Every structure is written in structure tokens, then in C-alpha cells.
Amino acid sequence: MKHAPRRHSPAAARNRGPILDVLRGVLPATGRVLEVASGTGEHAAFFAAALPGLVWQPTDPDAGARESVSAWREEAGCANLLPPLPLDAADVDWPDTVGRVEAVLCINMAHISPWAATQGLMAGAAVVLAPDGALVLYGPFRREGHALEPGNMAFDEDLRRRNAEWGLRSVEDVRACAADHGIAFDRLVEMPANNLVLVFRNR
């Protein structure tokens, strides 16, 4: 019997609890959440189970990732976790199937994608987010006035060696990109392992 191609990420298992703690204070009790770059699908399954009032829409441009998301969805058995959609954040026009959502979540994408993906994320979020809807980003970032930690510095150097268009983004650049699309910075939350959560609101 062939088993579904469910992928695992050790980082997802470590960070899902702290991210959930932030989401509980940021997301509405009900509504739709669009997850951009869902990856393995572990986050989607965990958050959908923990936040049953929210309908979770995972997405990923990679077909293998979507198969993994579907496998995690099948195991979770959550009625509020929808089948994954193909979505490339860098696309100028996001699929009409996305629809209007109350929140957009993007975990660990900005540093392992070209800057165009972050620009596309902001442009797309401005279209699909309901008024005052939350855009939540998680991952390692650079910050003005803060020295980059040795671990993140080595990570950044490795990313840039692998792809010249990758690398840790600065909080200030991300905020400016969001503002260009009418998305206002709301708060920054320091997370374990030198990661950050950036919260924005669609104004």
C-alpha cells in the first residue's frame, strides 16, 4: 500500500507552539486564513486543529509540497482545513479561488525566495485581505541597530551562496514594501532562536 508523501520539518515542530501563541492574540475568532508557502503542511494541520473557528487555506507553488500538505490534512481530519491551492507569491495576479480572507500567514518564505516574492506577497495581501485584516510573517530578519546573531549570519551567508537572490531581509525594507501597498506595520514580536514575527494590518 502506497503511503502519501508526507514531509517533515524539524523547525516546524519546534516553532509551531510559539507561533500559535502569537496567532491567538492576532487572528480573529472566526474567518478565513490564507497561508502562503505552506511547505510541508505541518503548520497548517497544527493551526487548523488549534483554531477550529478559522477556515485554513494552505497554498504552495510546489506540487510536491501540496501533496505533503494534503497528506497532513488527511491525517489531521480537520473540517476547517481546506485542500491546498497552487499559489506563487510573486505572481502579479493571485488566483480568484483565494477570495477574501481575514488574515494572511507566511512562515519562513522571505529569506529563501527572491525579493519579488515578498513584493508579490504584499501586493496580493492588499487585494485579498479584509479591512484591518492581519498579515503575519515569521522568520529570521535583519534589523537596523541590531547586530546579526552569529547563527543567522552564517545562515544568511549560506543562503546567498546557494542563490544570490536569497538572504535575510531587513525589517525596514519589508515595512517599506508593505507601506507601498497600503499595509500598515502593527507590531514586532521577538521569538525563540533569533526569529521574529512581523504583524501588519490592511488599512
Residue 1, in any domain of the structure: no
Residue 54, in any domain of the structure: yes
For 45-75, write each residue's pLDDT tens digit: 999 999 999 999 999 999 999 999 999 999 9
Grid cell locating 103: 488574515
Residue 5, in any domain of the structure: no
Number of independent structural domains in the chain: 1
Which range marks the domain in which residue 184 is found? 10-202
Residue 79, in any domain of the structure: yes
Amino acid, single-letter form, for residue 72: W
Q: Which of 175, 112, 105 is nearest to 137 (CA)?
A: 105
Evaluate if residue 1 carries a pLDDT over 60: no
Residue 160, in any domain of the structure: yes
What are the residue ranges of helices labelled H in 77-187? 115-128, 150-162, 171-180
Residue 43, in any domain of the structure: yes
**Percentage of the chain modeled with pLDDT above 90:** 89
Report the CATH number at residue 198: 3.40.50.150
Phi, psi of 135 (to 5 degrees): -110, 120
Residue 29, in any domain of the structure: yes
Q: What is the value of pTM for the model shown?
A: 0.96
9-13, 83-87, 88-92: which is most confident: 83-87
Residue 3, in any domain of the structure: no
Cα separation, 203 vs 186, whole angstroms? 11
For 95-145, write each residue's pLDDT tens digit: 888 899 999 999 999 999 999 999 999 999 999 999 999 999 999 999 999
